Structure 1
Amino acid sequence: MGLQLASALIFLLLQIMSSELSGLPMKSCESQCGDIDIQYPFGIGPNCSMNDWFVIVCNGTANNRRAFISSINLEVVDFLYERSRLRVKSPVISINCTVHNSGRVVDLRRTPFTISNYNRFTVVGCKNRVLLTYADPDIVGCQPTCDKKLKPQGKNPPCSGNKCCQTAIPYYLQVFNPRFENVNVRKGKRGCKLAFIVENIWFKSNIKDPYKVQEMEYVPMLVDWKINATALESLGINKKTTNWAFRYYNGFDFPYPNNSMLMCRKGYAGNPYLPDGCQDVDECLDLEVRSRCSGKCINTNGSYRCEAQKSWIIILGSSMGFVVLSLLFTSWWLSKFIKKRKSIQRKKKFFKRNGGLLLRQQVCSSEANVEKTKIFSSKELEKATDRFNVNRILGQGGQGTVYKGMLVDGRIVAVKKSEKVDQSRIQEFINEVVILSQINHRNVVKLLGCCLETDVPLLVYEFIPNGTLFHYLHHQNEEFQLSWKMRLQIAIEVAGALSYLHSAASIPIYHRDIKSTNILLDEKYRAKVSDFGTSRSIPIDHTHLTTRVQGTFGYLDPEYFQSNHFTEKSDVYSFGVVLVELLTGQEPLSSASLRSGIGLVTHFIISVEEGKLFDILDPRIVDQCDREEVMVVASLAKRCLNLNGKQRPTMKEVTVELEGLKFPQKDHLSILRKSDEFESNLWDAFPFTTFSNSDSGTDLSI
């Protein structure tokens, strides 16, 4: 009896040791909470999960048990283990609704959980604009229209923009804390307003009237989770394991390095966190798969194959062998012919869809006068870019990908593969191509032509070899640094280009995205304004352009963000931010400024008003710059950054003042002081009575 008891204790001890070494829970752990199946890495209780992040608390009565993730305090609806994803109950935040539900903030920061981008941020209600906080550096928000004449028709989705709108969320989002903003609300006219994050597929298939959401306790939301490399090793997983697949994500602010998302490969299903958890799916059980097989369907690991029956092989071989051999050459020739014809038809379809006929009409029109615009063929640009080889990529952005290419005549060009063009804006897109092709300014990147016979439009620009101004200002480069004279020359050239676009071009053009990354430097380090993907032209008799807010955070005109009215003074504000970058060598949104809560623009204006300009000047130019020139440029930048757009100078006035600095010191000050604005702004911004030329360049007395 004693021997049997000892053997049982030893067996139990080995089980416990084996379970701890493998990182998996013991068999005694509870695996069910109500109707929800709890599997590893989650577990009910701290000893049954991978770590404290994945502990499940099971509350409620015996007939109504509910599962909560204790680390983030969210109730679980379902687990999707094969995708490292779970479905939780997400709060509905409402204002002025019949069923008041203020909801609560979802905060997943400093946890291995993120809100999946398979959700959509949804806003319901008239006169309602809602922004997602903690989505920096992006500006994510939604504002429904409210046209009472419009009614849902046919198969339109329940949230198509009128009284309800949806927008995608960034993949890194970990906080749901919306900010409501009233838009043109009269006193006593405050209607029901809702904001929530919901699984996109669920919302489309379960909701007909979005206002009904206010009556719901919650909506389903998808949440992704990740584990660190140490946890992977504890599971005995490595790259040679056949039933596992890895996807690595960088840049998340988690307390773990190398966060990983485990998923079963295509053709496998199950829980990838369990040994042999990913099991082969028998595709031959699917009726649709079997219907595609003319013979017998045979399942294989991760896939399947179709095998003709032997009797059919014998019959077909004896009766059709000679015919097949005789038609082999004909079939090959016919397939090539059909493939070529389909390619031609596809190119014609893309050309027409992308506005090629309209562009060709304007090119041939004598009024358009766009003789230099060339319409390239897709074959030309494929050859120039080596079929858009990834090694030819110069850069990627929100408007598309840029490739380096060489044309047949030997010219080096930059080929931009644009994002898809909205069909409702084809006329506008073609007009912009025509207008940009007419721009002939030494400090604007020249548009050489375009190709419209591909799925997305291709734009061909002249190639600028020395990269962006941003790189030289914010990346340390001991071999070459921009001197003060070079920075001043760049400012003059960019100002001249913008002045040309605003007032000298045939139709005024607003750039709408002026920033240091869109200022390129040629082989002689001359400035070239680039990336007109968001630019717009306006009629001469108009003063502004009404459009949805678009631009880069840190350079965006606050007045434009408030009013949705983009004017030429909005470009002036963005140029003022670039001037501050040239003076300070700092980024508009750095990690230090985000921690302090004060951006570069605010810090600059405060420093100027307190007489501390030279304390924030870029140390790389302190010993070489002319102090009076720096003061003039700083005063000009401060005026460009005025919150009231009407009080900012025009780009023509900015260009005149900057070009005045090219003259000798005595001459340029006498020229600039002819302007009443200069006298009042320059010396008011710098209340110094004396300053000394010390070695440090920062010794000032007030």
Structure 2
Amino acid sequence: MEVLFRQLVFGLLLLLPASQRSTAVAVPSPQCQTQCGGVEIPFPFGIGANCSLAGFSVSCLVRDGVSKPFLGGGKFELLNISLIHGTLRKTNNISTYCYNTSSRSMDTRPWWFSARNSPFRFSDIHNKFTVVGCNTLAYISDDTGTGYQSGCVSTCRNLSDLAAGSCSGMGCCQTAIPRGMDFYNVSFNSGFDTSRISSFGPCGYAVLMEAETFSFSPSYINQFNSTNNGRTPVIMDWAIRENSMSCEVARLNKTGTYACLSRNSECMDSTNGPGYRCNCSNGYQGNPYLFDGCQDYNECKDRSSCPSGSTCHNTIGGYRCSCRAGRKFSQQNKTCDPDTGLIIGVTVGFLALVIFSFLGYFIIQRRKLNKIKQEHFRQHGGVLLFERIRSENGLAFKVFTEAELIQATNNYDKTRIIGRGGHGTVYKGILKNNTPIAIKRCALIDERQKKEFGQEMLILSQINHKNIVKLVGCCLEVEVPMLVYEFIPNGTLYELIHGRNRALQVSFSSLLRIAHEAAEGLSFLHSYASPPILHGDVKTANILLDDNYMAKVSDFGASILAPSDNEQYVTVVQGTCGYLDPEYMQTCKLTDKSDVYSFGVILLEVLTGQVPLKLNGPEEQRSLTSNFLTAMKENKLDAVLARHIKGQESTELVTGLAALAKQCLDMCGNNRPSMKEIANELGRLLKLSLHPWAQLDAETEIESLLGGPSTSSIEIEVTTTSPYPSQDGENLPMNPMSSYYGR
């Protein structure tokens, strides 16, 4: 079709008068050759008469048996032509400056090139004047054109100094040229020759060439001129330069020589010299110098035209993208964005229905939740508790709401957990007044415990003793009540003797002081609380240490009111292996003497530094209690004492504490002393340990203890039947919830 159209236009031009035909833009004949040697020759270039614009004629010649296109009557081989960029690549001769060993002089073969009165200019963007050699200074000049003159020197001492790809003066140098050059001449400086460096290459080379395709090689010092038969590519910018017209002038030219013939073309002023060139408009491709040479381009062939998930539709001179239902194409972002108008219209009604339904459901559920909370509050004795709190103005006890505890624990965040066991989890909480608290979130309890919970909380809240962890309050509006205690930061006596805090190297007198304080707390529970409270799980892991390392007996969950009548028997034996009273295990009857037995085990830990139960090793050595009683019976107490006690503490003190422990561990509960008697005896022994001759050392130890690193939280590991390790008893984990739970 294009060939027929060309024939028609060419025929019409032939019918024009000769005076008009000479001023009109030439249109190539359909018979014009458009290719030579595999190189496309697009109009305004052409091969033969009436096949090109003035100055764009190309010769197709046979060289070395191969057809090749040439410019300038066969001087320069044409490598390719770009209509879009207005450039062409052709070969350019390399100028040489060589030492002749016969004449012992320098032979010069300079080259010059002139493109004056032609459409071509040397590209200042793509070309550089390049000099190769070890002692070469070459000049480039455009004397009568731009007046440009410059030079470039290339030297080298050793060939080993030359680096491939580097053209910075060592063996190779380059310099840029200005725009507008249509002529250049090459000359060499005779003061630089290769006669003195015959060990290097005999020649120096200089050429204006395409810089992007050139990569220096050290081998070029000897054979640069042999590259492509002494020629290198050079880039020329071309344009329609007739009468140096710009686009604006060319459009208004009445002689009809405007070269952008295609209807869908655009004119652009040349950026290198006078004149203009043509390009197809956006959305079109082809040859803008031909009638209807710019045809619509199908952009949908390019994957990048439309985003993934959309459909591309080609249009004349452009394209459009469509998206699936519910989305629309964003021209700005080139993406398929949600169709907000459609979505809003469809969903507003639905959302309104959902919102009203949700509000109704929320109101109903809120009422149900409040009703459930009120029922839980009533079941847990909250009414009774409030009545007693109102009647006893001095009772410092608070009933927390569930929302307050959620806020204090950051919604029970895992990082707030300071203890976990089979009966619940303990969290560290921070109240609004920045007071730290410990919150025990219990597991399920039975119905009998629910009925007595309010009464028990009231009794526990009235306990105010310096050696007992204080119950601050509780939360009753949940299914299982939550207890709130004061926060004790410095770990447990267990950790001080066996665990992570034993690095403090606490003195025997300090341990004795802590044991005495713990005994005072238990004595208060047994003798002064009304009704008396039995701890039920006395052990070193349940003796906490505050900021000053004062003992605080924790009774969280294991403590019960002293049983009476039919309730004195416990259905399931509770406690920790190694501390359990043998009499309690046989009778299931929990008494205050059960706590005394467990406290006797604590005294053994202070004396021996060993854990109560070792699961590995010889069977006769697993129980600390059995080992101790055997040693006492055989009068071998020294065999079980800790190393820091042997020979360093008074015999009277150690013997007295061992005798007290033996009384506590009596198999018959009636033969054991009371906690009050134990506290009194420990007080006497403590005074003995602080006798003036040892008091200074003891005070030093206490200061060291108080000044040691404190623990901000308590890490608790979950254990099963026994809290002790399977090896040698070192670095033993705490019993589950040992710091704030008990068991």
The TM-score, its normalising length taken from structure 1, stands at 0.46
Point out which structure has higher relative CO (alpha carbons under 8 A, 6+ apart): 2
TM-score (norm 2): 0.44
